[in-house]
Copies of this chain bind each other. A is one copy, B any other.
Amino acid sequence: MKRIDNFKSIIDRYEIVFFDAFGVLKTYKGLLPGIEKTFEYLEQQGKEYYIVTNDASRSPLQLAQSYHKYGLNIIDPERIVSSGMLTKEYLDLKVNGGIVAYLGTPESAHYIDAEGRQTLPVSEVNSTNIDKVNALVFMDDEGFDWFEDINKTVNLLRKRTIPAIVANTDYAYPLSKNDISIAVGSIANMVESIVGKEFIRFGKPDSQMFMFAYDLIRERRPINKKNIVMVGDTLFTDIIGGNKFGLDTVLVLSGNTLPGDAESSIHATGIVPTYICENAVVETDGFGF
C-alpha cells in the first residue's frame, strides 16, 4: 500500500483504468470538480478507461448522458459496464419467454426488455398472468409502492419456483451530505431471508462485473490483467472485487472512505489497495502536458 499524491502517476503506470462511478467520478452534488482533466489526460495519453458501476436504474446510454449533461461529453456509452447489463445478459441467456416481473422504475425495466419476453411491474402480476412469470428482478428502489409491492414480491416468490435476480447489490446510496437512501440490494436481502430462497446477485465485488469489462477489451485486443488498475472509493466492493479479479487497485478518498478512516479501515478489514490517492483528479502543473 503506497500513498500517491497525483493521480496522474497512476495513469502513467497502466494501459487501462477501471473507474467506479459514485464517489469517484461524481458525488450527490454532481461531477467531482476537476475530473474532466483526468479524462483529457487519458485521451491525450491514449489510455483506455471503463466505468464499472453497480447501477441498474438506467441503460448505459442514459448513464453516459448523465455525464454529458454535466459537461463531461467525453464519456462513451460503450465504456460503461453496469450491473444492469449483467442482468440483461443473464435474462437473454436464461429466460427465453414469458414474463419477467420487476421492482423498479419503467425506465429501469425498459432496458431489460427483449423480443419474446415481457417485463411487468410486480404491481401488475395477478392470478391471470402469475403462471407465466419466469423470473423476478430487483432493479431499483423507486417506481413502486414499497408496502404493497414488496409484500406482493414475497408472495410471488412463495408461489412460483423461479430465479430472483438482484440487479444492484448495493445496500444504500448517498442522497445528500447527511442522508442516505436504502438501495434495492437491501430490499432484496430482506425478501430473501423471508422466503428462504437463494437469489442471484450482480454487482461488485462479484468478479462477473470485472470480467464483463475485461471481455469487452479482449474482443478488440490482447491485454494482461497486470496492465489494468481499478479505482474506487469503497473497500468492500471496488477494492476487494478488483483485488480478487487480480487487478491492482487504488482507493480514493472522495467518497465512502473518509481520509481520516482509510488506514484504520484497511487494517480492520484486511482489504488492502495497491495505492491510496486523495481523489482521481489529474493535477496539471502547467508543465506536464
Interface residues of chain A, those whose CB is within 8 Å of chain B, are: 89-90, 93-94, 145-147, 150-151, 154-155, 157-159, 161-164, 171-172, 178-182, 186-187, 189-190, 193-200, 206-208, 211, 225-226, 235-236, 240, 243-247, 266-272
Q: Which residue in B94, B178, B197 is a CB contact (below 8 Å) of A269?
A: B197
The answer on a CB contact under 8 Å between A270 and B198 is: yes
* With A245-B208, A246-B93 as contacts: A189 and B197 at CB distance below 8 Å: no
The answer on a CB contact under 8 Å between B93 and A272 is: no
Q: Which residue in B197, B206, B245 is a CB contact (below 8 Å) of A268?
A: B197
Nearest opposing residue in chain B for A149, CB measure:
B146
Give complex CA distance A195, B186 in Å: 11
The answer on a CB contact under 8 Å between B171 and A155 is: no
The answer on a CB contact under 8 Å between B246 and A90 is: yes
* With A162-B270, A163-B272, A246-B94 as contacts: A150 and B207 at CB distance below 8 Å: no
Nearest Cβ distance between residue A87 and chain B, in whole angstroms?
11
The answer on a CB contact under 8 Å between B207 and A93 is: no
Give complex CA distance A90, B159 in Å: 39
**A268 contacts across to B, CB distance below 8 A:** 196-197
**A226 contacts across to B, CB distance below 8 A:** 93
Nearest Cβ distance between residue A258 and chain B, in whole angstroms?
13
Give complex CA distance A71, B80 in Å: 50
